[in-house]
Amino acid sequence: MKTLGGLGPTIIGVMLGQSILSAFFIFSRLYTKARINRSMGWDDHMATFSWVMLLCYSAICSHAATEGYGQHAEVLGVEQAAQAAKITIIGQTFCIIGIATSKACVAFFLLRIVVILWHQIVLWVCVIAAAVICILCALFDFIRCDPVEGVWNPTVKAACWMGTEAFTDLSVGVGVTSVICDFVLALLPWAILWGLNMKKKEKRIIGISMSLGVFAGASGIVRAIELKRLSGRSDYTYESVSPILWSSTELCITLCTACMPMLRPLLNKIRGKVSTDDYRGYDKGMSGGTPGEGISLENMGNSSNKRKKGSTKMGLNETTIGVSAMGTYMDQTKRQGSDESVLINRRMEEGGITVITEIDTQSKRSESVVENTNEFTRR
């Protein structure tokens, strides 16, 4: 018999709100990268996948709430409590995977910026550590007992090679690893910014916007504490609500804070500071596109002539501008308003790369004037 009571409405309300909030940031990020910057990277795909995991987690836990999750087991009865616990445990798998991929999302973004070896090593350690322990935790909850029903139904006699207390310790380990990764990913940008030749105000703005992940770390700390307080599976449907909600909160905060540094171009467009074309071709060199395609100048005059790639026609004038690939990329990214573009530019400058842009300008009108002058002189 389906019943909604106890903390069930709270579970549905909190998770629905978190899903909507994170969806706003994710779709704003995707719009900015796809329509304004015209570029998508692996970090964007990871962010989208993590949000899908949060959405699945919220939907499954909300369904569990309608089955009695959030109420005391003694109120529900053994069979209904086991069914609610089963649904919740399935939902946790999506959350654990989402937590791992959300850390990878932030790390992949930073990997596109850093050039120092130990920075790269730290980021890859975070990605691998979070992935390994989260996969183990998600897997062990389904293979540690035979039959598997013994995981969520205490009345089933099952042979378990990992008891409830040991699995709780593993879950706490996931929380601790997640917290460490959150703080590393939040503080590492300051180490990157520290040695760059930038204005202090600019450093503070970028550093703060990229360090909001500390709030996700704080949520992870609370979740780990709540997990440690679990007394067992006897009243799992009620006692596990708090860590369940803190898990979704951590994932939601990670996604929102990971998207914030990307949204400055969108804000600038809304405020009317720039047009969409100002961001076209952004970050192609970093996202697998083709850098150096050239910057198209606007036609001013004869629009019937077919525009060529890397050229523009202005009335009678036909000017061809040839730009080197790296020179074009640097010029494009300098006009970007996002924190990502600023750091990429600084990375190139600090790396000691000298960029030489060759510009070859040909004017057909000038040649025509010279020919007409020569003809007039001969006459």
For 216-231, the DSSP string reads HHHHHHHHHHHHHT--
In a domain? residue 3: no
User: Does residue 360 carry a pLDDT above 80?
Assistant: no
Q: Are 206 and 343 in contact (CB under 8 A)?
A: yes
Tokens 């008891």 correspond to 163
Domain count across the chain: 2
In a domain, 2, yes or no: no
Same domain for 220 and 290? Answer: no
What pLDDT is recorded for position 4?
83
Same domain, 165 and 28: yes
233 and 309 inside one domain:
no
Task: Average the pLDDT over each of 99-103, 194-198, 297-301, 338-342 and give the range with the smallest value.
Answer: 297-301
Asked whether residue 203 carries a pLDDT value surpassing 90, the answer given is no
Residue 252 or 307, more confident: 252
Give the global pTM.
0.73
Q: Are residues 40 and 173 in the same domain?
A: yes
Which of 259, 331, 264 lies closest to 295, judged by CA? Answer: 331
Asked if 263 and 315 sit in the same domain, the reply is no
Kindly state whether residues 23 and 140 are assigned to the same domain. yes
**Confidence category of residue 274, pLDDT binned at 50, 70, 90:** low
Higher pLDDT pick, 202 / 95: 95
Query: 237, 270, 303 — which closes off a domain?
Result: 270
Q: What's the pLDDT score for residue 194?
A: 78
- Over the stretch 119-157, which tens digit does the pLDDT of each residue have? 999 999 999 999 999 999 999 989 999 899 988 888 888
Element (H, E) at 318: strand 317-320
351 pLDDT more than 80? no
Same domain, 260 and 319: no
225 and 296 housed in the same domain: no
* Per-residue confidence (pLDDT) for residue 355, from 0 to 100: 44
- Alpha-carbon distance of 225 to 322, in angstroms, equals 61
Q: What mean pLDDT is predicted for residues 6-23?
A: 95
CA angle 198, 199, 204 (to 5 degrees): 100
344, pLDDT greater than 70: no
**270, 289, 316: which is the final residue of a domain?**
270
User: Residue 295 corresponds to which amino acid?
Assistant: I
Question: What is the per-residue pLDDT for 168?
Answer: 87
Please give the Cα distance from 288 to 173 (Å, whole number).
36
DSSP annotation of 311 reads E
**What are 225's strand-pairing partners?**
none
Give domain status of residue 293, yes or no.
Answer: yes
Lookup: tokens for 74: 């003694």
314 belongs to a structural domain: yes
Paired tokens of 371 = 């020919």
369 contacts: CB under 8 Å, gap ≥ 6: none
**pLDDT, tens digit, for every residue of 167-185?**
888 999 999 999 999 999 9
pLDDT at 358 over 90: no
- Supply the range of the domain harboring residue 209: 8-270
Cα(first)–Cα(last) distance of the chain, in Å?
105
Which of 236, 270, 304 terminates a domain? The answer is: 270
Structure tokens at 205: 């703005």
More confident position, 97 or 346: 97
Residues 305 and 226 in one domain: no
Task: With respect to residue 122, please indicate whether it lies within any of the assigned structural domains.
Answer: yes
Is the pLDDT score of 267 beyond 90? no
Within-domain flag for 147: yes
276 is a domain residue: no
Instruction: Say what the pLDDT of residue 243 is.
Output: 92
Mean pLDDT of the 76-102 span: 93
Question: Does residue 200 surpass a pLDDT of 90?
Answer: no
In a domain, residue 112? The reply is: yes
Four-residue CA torsion sign, 183, 185, 189, 192: positive
**Claim to verify: residue 256 and residue 209 sit in the same structural domain:** yes
* Lowest mean per-residue pLDDT among 43-47, 58-62, 170-174, 202-206: 202-206
| Residues 213-248 pLDDT 10s | 899 999 999 999 988 887 666 788 898 999 999 999
Q: Which of the four pLDDT bands, split at 50, 70 and 90, describes residue 55?
A: very high
Over residues 92-96, the mean pLDDT reads: 95
Q: Are residues 321 and 216 in the same domain?
A: no
Query: Where residue 15 sits, what CATH number does that domain have?
Result: 1.20.1070
Q: Is the pLDDT of residue 22 over 70?
A: yes
54 with 181, same domain: the answer is: yes
Higher per-residue confidence, 43 vs 296: 43
Q: Which helix (H) or strand (E) holds 146?
A: strand 145-146
Q: Binning pLDDT at 50, 70 and 90, where does residue 294 land? A: very low
Q: Residue 342's pLDDT band (boundaries 50, 70, 90)?
A: low
